[in-house]
């Protein structure tokens, strides 16, 4: 009789343990979702943006010029570095001129920085992408820019 009672108590305890584990798993999932939502909200608050998500179908009409291109006037033209900026803590995947004497840089961590090229000082950091920023385009000459990312979003 005592053995049966002990088995019942053990089964009840095991059932309670399984319920506690399931509850803990639900709490972890809810906490992770809340954390992601909070990060998204913070990112959107930092960089108000219109997002386009999905695939872009690019169609081409007309001839394709497949001749090699060069920006050098002669093949022997030499270039030299006139300065550098220590920009991000991670790899930079994109850079684009932005208006006059300004530069945008896109980073592996999803951040975008705006730089003053004369002073080599950071003007502002933009957040909003969840993954690597690999494309930057000045849209309206110092007014707006587009950024593309591995998070499958284009932001304006």
The per-residue pLDDT for range 36-50, each reduced to its tens digit, is: 766 665 655 555 455
Q: What is the pLDDT of residue 40?
A: 62
Please compute the mean of the pLDDT values over residues 141-150 and round it to a whole number: 80
Residue 119 near residue 90 (C-beta atoms within 8 A): no
Helix (H) or strand (E) holding 115: strand 112-116
Tokens of 20: 């506690």
Mean pLDDT of 63-92: 64
Number of H helices, E strands in the chain: 1, 8
Report pLDDT for 76.
57
- Domain-wise residue ranges, the chain: 1-46, 83-155
Question: Any idea which of 69-73, 88-92, 102-106, 141-145 has the lowest mean pLDDT?
Answer: 69-73
Q: Where is 93: in which H helix or E strand?
A: strand 92-97
What whole-number percentage of the chain has pLDDT above 90? 0
Q: Is 129 exposed, middle or buried (0-12, 13-18, 19+ CB in 10 A)?
A: buried
Mean pLDDT, rounded, for 124-150: 84
pTM: 0.50
Can you say whether residue 25 is alpha, beta or left, with left for phi > 0 and alpha for psi between -120 and 50 degrees?
Answer: alpha
Average pLDDT over the chain reads 72
Instruction: State residue 156's pLDDT score.
Output: 82
């Amino acid at each position: 009789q005592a053995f049966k009672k002990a088995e019942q108590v053990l089964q009840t305890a095991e059932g309670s343990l399984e319920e506690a584990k399931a509850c803990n798993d639900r709490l972890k999932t809810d906490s992770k979702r809340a954390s992601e939502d909070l990060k998204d909200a913070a990112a959107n608050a930092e960089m108000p943006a219109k997002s386009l998500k999905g695939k872009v179908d690019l169609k081409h009409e007309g001839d394709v010029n497949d001749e090699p291109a060069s920006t050098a006037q002669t093949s022997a033209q030499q270039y030299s570095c006139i300065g550098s900026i220590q920009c991000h803590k991670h790899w930079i995947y994109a850079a684009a001129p932005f208006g006059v004497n300004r530069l945008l840089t896109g980073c592996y961590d999803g951040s975008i920085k705006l730089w003053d090229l004369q002073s080599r000082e950071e003007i502002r950091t933009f957040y909003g992408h969840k993954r690597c920023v690999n494309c930057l385009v000045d849209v309206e000459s110092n007014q707006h820019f587009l950024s593309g990312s591995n998070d499958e979003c284009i932001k304006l």
